[in-house]
Homo-oligomer: A and B are copies of this chain.
Amino acid sequence: MSITPITRRAEPSLQPMMNLVADEMNSVNAIILDRMQSKVAMIPELAGHLIAGGGKRLRPMLTLAGASLLDYPGTRHHKLAAAVEFIHTATLLHDDVVDGSEMRRGKRAANLIWGNPATVLVGDFLFSRAFELMVEDGSLKVLKVLSHASAVIAEGEVDQLTAQRRIETSEEEYLRIIGAKTAALFAAACQVSPIVAEAGEEAEEALESYGRNLGIAFQLIDDAIDYASDEETMGKGLGDDFRDGKMTLPVILAHARGNEEDRAFWKAAMQGERVSDEDLAHAIRLMRDTAALDDTMESARSYARRAIDALSIFPDTKAHRAMIEAAEFAVARAY
């Protein structure tokens, strides 16, 4: 007789959500592919490099999952999910120009292949196409939510630019920035389906809250992951935020909790005067000593919990469970 060990709960994953929306995502992908075309050949080439290059399609996935949660029987949200992904892709292209990125989704960043000018302009094109898709759908409420989200994202990005290398950036400022540059589009993506499903104010607010808190959780974990390494695995694209002088929560916490010498290190580091691998290793040690990474993850957990709580008004369905697991996944990535 062999003893079957009790398997502990598998790592939370996005798989259930991906399975839930797989068929509909094919339809969204078809719209994306169709609407990124242009008689100007460079546009589909450049856009396709990023769009076909993968990415989780997390934001349109949330739009689709929300529709499933609400048992929405229509297909209007497909075009709108594509619009959400276009807005996201446009911001990634512009981000790459802003940050001078070298890699994106494991490939050379578009700006390095086609140059900054084309990358800016194709971003503009995709952004305009997103609005054309929304106009075709014809919901002024969706247009309002997504045009406002787009303005907020741009504001958040400029805000982040202002905070860059500024060691005085507070936790509150940081949360405002990521609330704008990341969480606003997550929230808007989640609001689309209750609007087209006419599910009512309560459902809309719940899904908006789910998206917003999930977005913050994802961003906090991304920011932690940038430092969640040790000397051995160094140099694998980690530490980008460190070298760019990006004020993220782990830095803010480690700086606030450090002694005078540590603070001088952080200040110099954020000003770009400590960019070696040894400096990064030292930064990570300081973060561990001050529990800055643990507390960033703890903070992410609490946002993920809020996201899950926001869903409590909905019945227990496959969609509900998949969306809960997505929030668990957001945090589990860091371990």
Stretch in contact with the other chain, from A38-46, A252-260, A267-275: A38-46
Once the chains are docked, how many angstroms separate the CA of A154 from the CA of B118?
Answer: 10
CB atoms of A125 and B42 under 8 A apart: no
Q: Please classify the interface of chain A as helix (H, G, I), strand (E, B), loop, or mixed, using the class held by over half of its residues.
A: helix
A233 in the interface, Cβ–Cβ < 8 Å? no
Instruction: Decide: A158 near B97, CB < 8 A? Known: A124-B127, A129-B151, A147-B135.
Output: no
Q: Which residues of B contact A154 (CB under 8 A)?
A: 121-122, 124-125, 128
CB atoms of A120 and B148 under 8 A apart: no
Q: How many copies does the complex hold?
A: 2
A105 in the interface, Cβ–Cβ < 8 Å? no
Interface centre among A98, A121, A132 (most CB of B within 10 A): A121
| A41 smallest CB distance to B (angstroms) | 8
A138 in the interface, Cβ–Cβ < 8 Å? yes
Chain A residues within 8 Å of chain B by Cβ, number:
43
Which A residues, 150 to 171, have Cβ-Cβ distances below 8 Å to chain B?
150-151, 153-155, 157-159, 161-162
Which A residues, 40 to 54, have Cβ-Cβ distances below 8 Å to chain B?
40-43
Q: Which residues of B contact A118 (CB under 8 A)?
A: 158, 161
Instruction: Decide: A125 near B158, CB < 8 A? Known: A117-B97, A131-B131, A148-B132.
Output: yes
Which A residues, 115 to 145, have Cβ-Cβ distances below 8 Å to chain B?
116-118, 120-122, 124-125, 127-129, 131-132, 134-135, 138, 140, 143-144
Q: Which residues of B contact A128 (CB under 8 A)?
A: 147-148, 150-151, 153-154
CB atoms of B161 and A121 under 8 A apart: yes
Once the chains are docked, how many angstroms separate the CA of A163 from the CA of B223?
Answer: 41
Q: Which residues of B contact A98 (CB under 8 A)?
A: 116-117, 120-121
| A331 smallest CB distance to B (angstroms) | 29
A78 in the interface, Cβ–Cβ < 8 Å? no
CB atoms of A43 and B155 under 8 A apart: yes
Chain A residues close to B by CB (< 8 Å): 38-43, 90-91, 94, 97-99, 116-118, 120-122, 124-125, 127-129, 131-132, 134-135, 138, 140, 143-144, 147-148, 150-151, 153-155, 157-159, 161-162
